[in-house]
Amino acid sequence: MLRFFLGRLAILIPTFLGVSLIAFSFIRLLPGDPVMLMSGERVMSEERHAQIMHDLGLDRPMYVQYFDYLGNVLTGDLGTSIVSKRPVFDDFLSLFPATLELSICAIIVAMCLGIPAGVIAAVKRGTWFDQSIMGIALVGYSMPIFWWGLLLMIFFSGYLQWTPVSGRISLMYFFPPVTGFMLIDSLLSGQAGAFKSAVSYLILPTVVLATIPLAVIARQTRSAMLEVLGEDYVRTARSKGLSPWRVVGIHALRNALIPVITTIGLQVGVLLAGAILTETIFSWPGIGKWMVDAVFKRDYAVVQGGLLMIAGVIMLVNLAVDVTYGFINPRIRH
Amino acid sequence: MSSATVKTGHPSALAEFWYYFSRNKGAVLGFAVFVIVLLLAVLAPIVAPHAPSEQVREKLLLPPSWMAGGDASYLLGTDAVGRDILSRLIYGARFSLFIGLVVVTLSVISGVLIGLVAGYFRGRVDIVIMRVMDIILAFPSLLLALVLVAVLGPGLLNAMIAIALVNQPHFVRLTRASVMAEREKDYVIASRVAGAGTLRIMFLTILPNCLAPLIVQATLAFSAAILDAAALGFLGMGAQPPTPEWGTMLAEAREFIQRAWWVVTFPGLAILVTVLAINLMGDGLRDALDPKLKRS
């Protein structure tokens, strides 16, 4: 198991170097050079320009600059945001919990609804239930979630006035962040109604972000279940006289879940891409909105650092999925 | 040989394909909707009741014709500057289908070529190619596309290039896997023994046998490209106003969600219906082309 883990870790290293190379070259691919970007509209003399290039170390060979950058990255220095004037890494750390909270809630919703829906659809294959569930799943899979979010907002926030439009919690409540997760912090604050407020702000973004993973998980669970239900050992379990729910729930589901877990792991990229849109619509102060704002404000240090951190998170989750997969399915360790 | 003997043989590949494809009702429905959208796009100047950028100052934010205050000549109402929404949607179909087509063509050609090389030659070339693909796949596709467009400059062409680039690793992986499975089969070895050159073996012997999963993936990429382009348009980084691209229309409509639901609802519905139709077709294609499912 340890060898398997180390093997997977070793593959990550070249990928991470590649990712850092992309993040590094991003700023250098932009028209003009960093100094001209910083000076903006102001006119700068040739000497002054060369002087600043030299001060910032930008006149050194590219590979020296890259290794310099890599060294900074590995010590947690991702540069400074020109908008917030704070280190990019600090901004990332303070905003990431908001995205994480939203993503965790979304994936829980997607799993809690998607897995049972897929199992029941497979067991009742060909019935109207199966067909409607798979029909709904395909609609969910095809959904432009930025539009879906706006529709839910028109209906639930505008028409019914059940949920707030944007943000993470009502302005009536204020407490210092402890964990960064609003649900936990609001409970810890002990303020009456704070938790309820946090939940009401979280519901719509969660539904929007969960839509595509939910559809994917339901479809994947159904096809994995169908495959497993045809296996000999399921027939044996049935003919032993075990109750149908025991056969489906214990014998079949355990094996059907193996590919589903991989699917769930692969949804992390989908979630972070979805977070870009969901957070933009609901003004959710997470890293998705942060990145979009940075692209628009030309805050290139943030774009560069954010790219690297987000890719890093995805790589780590993929590693975790691989290791979990090796753990529950010993065959692939060898 | 007479035609009668031909008929008693195997049905043509197309007939066989249609037999399996048409058994999937959803796929046929999806195909029908897709053909309608395609016709609307091609015939836009004839079908659209108004020009897509014609602004009528007296008719701002007109509701759909069946509602109070609606106007029969503006079936789905007008937007904030008095343009006919239906006409813009019909012209928008041109953009969405064009985006899908260009993105799929670009990513299929590059992905299949790279995947063929990786799967056929293996060794170091393969390792380098697959590592590069891993790197591209390490980013959320929309984020990478967004940043690429920020580098290249916002606009439809750059959005298409960016989306094609982030879609292409899927084709590389798929082609490589199929090529690796086919490479050692007897018919390929026979062809090699018979003296076929490398290029001939790659493109004429192996590639046709790897097409089925690629066609299914191409369908999925087509709908994903429409969604991604609309998302970029929505974020303001895709097609620029006044282009009647569906995502861009949604971005312009955002501020009116409280006052005029129709400006928001219809462009999104157009995206959903088109993408859904293509995905339904994709499911049908998979059923028809996947030999594993055929046997069951």
pLDDT of residue B254: 85
d(CA A226, CA A121) in angstroms, rounded, equals: 9
User: B74 and B84 in contact (C-beta within 8 Å)?
Assistant: yes
Closest CA to A226 of A246, A265, A250, A253: A253
Over residues B204-245, the pLDDT tens digits come to 888 888 888 898 889 989 999 999 999 999 998 888 888 899
The size of chain A, in residues, is: 334
Percent of chain B with pLDDT strictly greater than 90? 41
**AA identity, residue B149:** V
pLDDT of residue A101: 92
| Six-digit token string for B212 | 């089925």
Is the pLDDT at B296 greater than 50, yes or no?
Answer: no
**Cβ contacts (< 8 Å) between B264 and chain A: which residues?**
147, 150-151, 154
Beta bridge partners of B141: none
> Cβ A147–B132 below 8 Å, yes or no?
no
Q: Residue B52 above 80 pLDDT?
A: yes
The percent of residues in chain B predicted with pLDDT above 70, rounded, is: 94
Q: Are A158 and A174 in contact (CB under 8 A)?
A: no
Distance to chain B for A33, nearest Cα, Å: 13
Please indicate whether, in this complex, the C-beta atoms of B146 and A22 are within 8 angstroms of each other. no
Question: Closest Cα of chain A to B227: distance in Å?
Answer: 6
The length of chain B is 296
Q: Which domains does chain B have, with CATH numbers?
A: 24-293 (1.10.3720.10)
Over residues A153-198, the pLDDT tens digits come to 888 988 888 888 788 888 778 777 878 888 888 888 878 788 888 8
What are the CA-CA distances from residue B42 to residues B35, B51, B52 (Å)? 10, 15, 14
Strand partners, B84: B78
C-alpha to C-alpha distances, A117 to A110, A121, A211, A215, B40, nearest whole angstrom: 10, 6, 14, 10, 37
| Furthest-apart CA atoms within chain B: distance in Å | 77
Q: Measured between CA atoms, how close is B221 to chain A, in angstroms?
A: 12
CA A200 to chain centre: 21
Distance, in Å, from the CA atom of A26 to the CA atom of B148, rounded to the nearest integer, reads 8
Boundaries of every domain in chain A: 14-76, 86-326
Kindly calculate the radius of gyration of chain A based on its CA atoms and give it in whole angstroms.
24
Provide the 3-class DSSP secondary structure of residue A166. coil
Asked if A307 and B147 come within 8 Å (Cβ–Cβ), the reply is yes
Write the pLDDT tens digit of every residue in B247-278: 999 998 888 887 888 889 999 999 999 999 99
- Going by pLDDT thresholds of 50, 70 and 90, the confidence category of residue B109 is very high
pLDDT at A273: 84
Nearest to B128, CA basis, from B69, B92, B172, B76: B172
Q: Which residues of A touch B279 (CB under 8 A)?
A: 138, 141-142
User: Rounded to an integer, what distance in angstroms lies between the CA atom of residue B77 and that of residue B67?
Assistant: 9
The first and second tokens of residue B225, run together, are 């490209």
Q: No. of H helices and E strands in chain A?
A: 14, 0
Query: Residue B294's pLDDT is what?
Result: 47
Residue B3, pLDDT > 60, answer: no
Beta bridge partners of B78: B84
- Give yes or no for a contact between A93 and A313, defined as CB atoms under 8 angstroms apart: no
Distance (Å, whole) CA A287 – CA A275 = 8
Q: How far apart are CA A78 and CA A72, in angstroms?
A: 7
Q: Are A319 and A9 in contact (CB under 8 A)?
A: yes
pLDDT of res. A7: 82
Tokens at B95, concatenated = 């953009």
CA distance A66 to A75: 14
Q: Kindly report the CA angle at B236 between B158 and A164, in degrees rounded to 5? A: 145
Q: Is A126 left (phi over 0), alpha (psi -120 to 50) or beta?
A: left
**Which of A99, A293, A123, A62 minimizes the C-alpha distance to A206?**
A99
**Selected residue with higher pLDDT from B1 and A176:** A176
Euclidean distance between CA atoms B83 and B90, whole angstroms? 13
Chain segment B32-50, per-residue pLDDT in tens: 999 999 999 999 999 888 8
Q: Is omega for the bond preceding B242 within 30 degrees of 0, making it cis?
A: yes
∠ CA B237-B238-B243, rounded to 5°: 125
Helices (H), B122-210: 123-137, 141-152, 156-183, 186-193, 198-200
Q: Which residue positions in chain A have pLDDT lower than 70? A: 31-34, 36-42, 331-334
Residue B5 has pLDDT above 60, yes or no: no
pLDDT in the model for residue B7: 52
What burial class does residue A21 get, using C-beta atoms within 10 Å of its C-beta: 0-12 exposed, 13-18 middle, 19+ buried? middle
| Residue located via tokens 């590949």 | B13
DSSP per-residue string spanning B195-212: T--HHHIIIIIIGGGGHH
Reduced DSSP (H G I as helix, E B as strand, rest coil) percent helix, strand, coil of chain B, to 5: 75, 0, 25
A85-88: long-range contacts at Cβ-Cβ below 8 A with a sequence spacing of 24 or more? A88/A301, A88/A302, A88/A304, A88/A305, A88/A306
Q: What one-letter code names the amino acid at B91?
A: Y
Residue B84 phi/psi, 5° resolution? -70, 120
Tell me what pLDDT residue A310 has. Answer: 92
Contact in structure between A10 and A319 (CB atoms under 8 Å): no
What's the average model confidence in pLDDT over B65-72?
A: 80
Kind plus residue range of the DSSP H or E element containing A28: helix A2-29
Burial class, A56, CB count within 10 angstroms (exposed 0-12 / middle 13-18 / buried 19+) = middle
| Binary contact (B234, A277; C-beta < 8 A) | yes
Q: Are A110 and A137 in contact (CB under 8 A)?
A: no
Alpha carbon distance, N-terminus to C-terminus of chain A: 9
Enter the ipTM: 0.86
Confidence (pLDDT) at A332: 62
Does A144 contact B231 at a Cβ distance shorter than 8 Å? yes
Residues from A contacting B (CB-CB < 8 Å) are: 11, 14-15, 18-19, 22, 26, 29-30, 135, 138-139, 141-144, 146-148, 150-151, 153-154, 158, 269-270, 272-273, 276-277, 280, 291-292, 295-296, 303, 307, 310-311, 314-315
Q: What is the pLDDT of residue A37?
A: 65
In this structure, CATH architecture of domain A86-326 = Orthogonal Bundle (1.10)
Contact B268 A151 (CB under 8 A): yes
pLDDT score recorded for residue A65 = 83
**pLDDT value for A23:** 86
Measured N-to-C along each axis, helices B85-121 and B246-253 cross at an angle, to the nearest 10 degrees, of: 130
- Interchain pair B141, A273: CB under 8 A: yes
Q: Which of helix, strand or coil describes residue B137?
A: helix
Query: Is-contact B247 B234, C-beta < 8 A?
Result: yes
Radius of gyration of chain B (CA): 23
